[in-house]
Structure formats: C-alpha cells, structure tokens
Amino acid sequence: MDLQSTVLRQLKNRREGYSLEQPFYIDQDYFKLDMETIWYRDWLFIGHDCEIPKAGNYFTVQIGDYPVVVVRGKDGVIRAFHNTCRHRGHRVCTQEKGASAKLVCPYHQWTYDLDGSLVFARQMGEDFDKSKHGMKPVACESVAGYIFVCLSEEPMDFAPVRATIEPYIKPHRLAEAKVAAKTTIIEKGNWKLVWENNRECYHCAGNHPELCRTYPEAPTATGVQGAKDDPFIAEHWARCEAAGLPSEFTMDPSGQFRVARMPLIQGAESYTMDGKPAVKRLLSDDVNAREIGTMLLFHYPTTWNHMLIDHAISFRVLPISAEETAVTTTWLVHKDAVEGVDYNVDDLTHVWNMTNDQDRAIVEENAFGIRSPAYEPGPYSAEHEGGVMQFVEWYANFMINRLQGDKARLS
C-alpha cells in the first residue's frame, strides 16, 4: 500500500480521544507528507508588519524546503517571494533580515526591484528577456500587523481568516508596534507535539511556576469548551466588549483558528512575576480599559498569541525535520516605549523565556518516550485536554480531506 493510503487508513481508524500512532511523530515519510499536504499548501503566519516598517526592509524565512523573503515595497505593500535567484538559484537574500533599495543576488549580481521584477542582469545577450525572470511571488496577506504567506499557487481564500481575526487584533495596534525582543529555540520533537503541548494547561501546575502566577490553568481558558458557561469569563467578556474590545470565543467551523479574550488570574495584568505591567507605556492608545486579560489567537499550523494591555507575544512554529521544530517568540511593545525607561527586556521576557524552555523540555521528553517501541497511543483527559483533542481532530480531518481530494483528482 502506498504511504497516502496507509496514512488515510490510520487517520480514519484512529481511536478518538487518543494520541496518534508513533510514525506520525517520528517518521521521515510521514513528515514529508505533512509538509506537502499542510505546510506547502496552507496559509502560514510568518512575521509582523512592524518588523519591516520601511520600504526595502526585508526578512527571510525557511519553510521546509522553501526559502522565502518578505519585503516591503516602495508603495508600502508587503510582498513575499521565493528566495531563489532566477539565474542559477542562489539565495538572493542570505541574511535573516536587512534593508536594501533593491534585492541583489550575491552570486552574479542579478538585481531585482522590491516588487520582484528583474531590473539588471549583466551581459546576458540581446535576446534575453528580463521580464520573464522576475522573482517568483508567494501569496502574501497582512492583517492587523500579522503577515501570512501561502506557498500554494492556488491559495485557499484568506477572507474568512481576516474577517474573524482582524476585529480582535486591531485594537491592539500591532501593525505600528515595535519588536522589543525575539528568540528562536529549537525543540527536538515533531511539530504536532509542540502543538499538543500548547493546547492544554493540564501540564501547567507541574511545570510552569512563573506562568501560573498570572495565567489560569482552568481548561476553559486554554481549551475550546465551556468558556461561555464560566461566569468569571462571561463577566470578563461583557466588560471588555463594553469597552469596545471584541472578546467572545470564536472558532472557525474548520477548527483551524480561534480568537477569545481570557481573564488572567484576578488582579494580574501581564505575564510578570508580580502580575504588574512589564511596560509602562501601554501597547495601544485605542484601549480604554484595564484588566483586559489576554487576547488569545491560534491559527494552525504556525501560530499562537497573547495580546495584553502592555505588550503582545506571538509564537511561530516552523518544522525543521520529523523530530525538530523551531519556535520563534516575538515580544511587541508600543513603538514609543523606551527600553530602560518604560521596560527592560529581562523583566519583559522572563516568564515566557522560562515557560518556553520548560515546554521545550516537555516536548523533548515526550518525543523521547514516543520513540520507544513500547509506546502506544494514550487517552487524553476529556476535562483538561479538549484543546489537544480539537487539534488532533483538525489535523486528522484536514489530512483526510486533502489526501482524499488528491486521490480523486489523480484517478
């Protein structure tokens, strides 16, 4: 049986409410199938508008086999391109980020405009057509300060994502914020283990002493059920909505993304050791309320986020191999917040640096145990791990639909 058929059978027959079978977490071929079926075809959060505030600012990112460059044009528009030169394929932009009036390939100096068109290629002969050798575009959308790209040549409609998430993010004014800190850690575990760990707080009390000072471990906050029946949360939504902040739990019917504004532990305003804001200059001039908690956004497969009164934190997940995942964390503050005056980076980043490292250790030990021939899928806690079940269900359904669609197209 071919791999697609095996995976389809395993996903269709999977035991609901149980973790996946071993190869989904460790096998190279399964990993390749994840990349081809999800990562190379769907919208992926990749970075923030405010990381490239001026024309010619760019950053690069590696998505599986695809190097991509994201650049702001002279017209202010953010575009993405395959970062492979149309001459002989050298990466055009070799740095993680930079600023340049044109994009110049270091190999033979083919030169591209910020809109991707080839403007200079030395001594290529009379009949060489520059217009046929522009950088290949990658679909790119920016919404309220979040940049998404899609490697597919026929991207899915982005409009539903925009319509749902924009009103929730917009009041935080992240398009005009600034990056106060950014880290990338490598977790030695499959990308789905990173997500499974993220989608529950069953592990929080035992692993995250710093985060638990301010983030509630109740499954209603992290998971996908019961929030609206929790009077503490309902009161929070009513108060925040009255202040003009969309807050109620909203999940896309596909289960791929959700937004919800959750209260922190009573009295806490930010992820600091004492719960007080880490930044004196608050994040948004448009928010006229305090104790707004955290606006939670996830969008599978690349991002989960926290938007607070004083700063926002985005997390970007990118798979490196079947058993390695890069997690990039970005802390955003008001553009006029001054380091050393309004905040210091150590206090701002402490709780999530600790939490990330604790989660990395969990994911790595989880991967370790799953490699055992004795591993078998285990039961999720219905009470605490509803979010994990929802993630696995999204993954399984997404894969099943795509793989079945591909089969139908080929036959």
Binding footprint of ligand 3BY on the chain (CB under 6 A): 198, 201, 204, 222, 304, 355
* Angle formed at CA 371 by CA 369 and CA 377, multiple of 5 degrees: 70
90 binds, among Fe ion, ligand FES, ligand 3BY, none (CB under 5 to 8 A by kind): ligand FES
* Angle formed at CA 327 by CA 326 and CA 331, multiple of 5 degrees: 145
369 binds, among ligand 3BY, ligand FES, Fe ion, none (CB under 5 to 8 A by kind): none
The reply to whether 182 sits near ligand FES by the rule CB under 6 A is: no
CB nearer ligand FES, residue 115 or residue 364: 115
| Strand arrangement of the beta sheet that strand 137-143 belongs to | 43-48, 146-150, 137-143, 78-82, 66-72, 57-63, 97-99
The reply to whether 91 sits near ligand FES by the rule CB under 6 A is: no
* 186-219 CB burial, b ≥16 within 10 A, e <16: ebbbbbbbbbbbbbbbbbbeebbebbbbbbbbbb
CB nearer ligand FES, residue 138 or residue 181: 138
Asked if 42 and 319 touch (Cβ cutoff 8 Å), the reply is no
Residues 322-351 that bind ligand FES (CB under 6 A): none
Residues found in the chain: 411
Q: How far is the CB of 32 from ligand FES (least distance, A)?
A: 27
CB nearer ligand FES, residue 123 or residue 266: 123
The reply to whether 27 sits near Fe ion by the rule CB under 5 A is: no
The reply to whether 296 sits near ligand FES by the rule CB under 6 A is: no
CB nearer ligand 3BY, residue 193 or residue 204: 204
The reply to whether 187 sits near Fe ion by the rule CB under 5 A is: no
CB nearer ligand 3BY, residue 30 or residue 271: 271
CB nearer ligand FES, residue 87 or residue 402: 87
The binder of ligand FES chosen from 32, 87, 178, 402 (CB under 6 A): 87
The reply to whether 81 sits near ligand FES by the rule CB under 6 A is: no
Q: How far is the CB of 371 from ligand 3BY (least distance, A)?
A: 24
CB nearer ligand FES, residue 85 or residue 283: 85
The reply to whether 88 sits near ligand FES by the rule CB under 6 A is: yes
CB nearer ligand FES, residue 90 or residue 281: 90
Q: How far is the CB of 296 from ligand 3BY (least distance, A)?
A: 6
CB nearer Fe ion, residue 4 or residue 355: 355
- The reply to whether omega before 301 is within 30° of 0 (cis) is yes
Phi/psi at 36 (5° precision): -70, -35
Mark the segment that binds ligand FES (CB under 6 A) among 23-31, 82-90, 238-246, 342-350. 82-90
Mark the segment that binds ligand FES (CB under 6 A) among 81-89, 163-171, 255-263, 320-328. 81-89
Distance of CA 93 to the CA centre of its chain: 22
Residues 345-404 that bind Fe ion (CB under 5 A): 359
Beta 111-112 vs 78-82: how paired, if at all? unpaired
Residues 143-162 that bind Fe ion (CB under 5 A): none
201 binds, among ligand FES, ligand 3BY, Fe ion, none (CB under 5 to 8 A by kind): ligand 3BY
The binder of ligand FES chosen from 110, 112, 304, 395 (CB under 6 A): 110
The reply to whether 105 sits near ligand FES by the rule CB under 6 A is: yes
The binder of ligand FES chosen from 32, 97, 108, 170 (CB under 6 A): 108
Residues 6+ away with beta carbon under 8 Å from 30: 3, 7, 23, 24, 322
CB nearer Fe ion, residue 37 or residue 329: 329
Chain positions contacting ligand FES, by CB under 6 A = 85, 87-90, 105, 107-108, 110
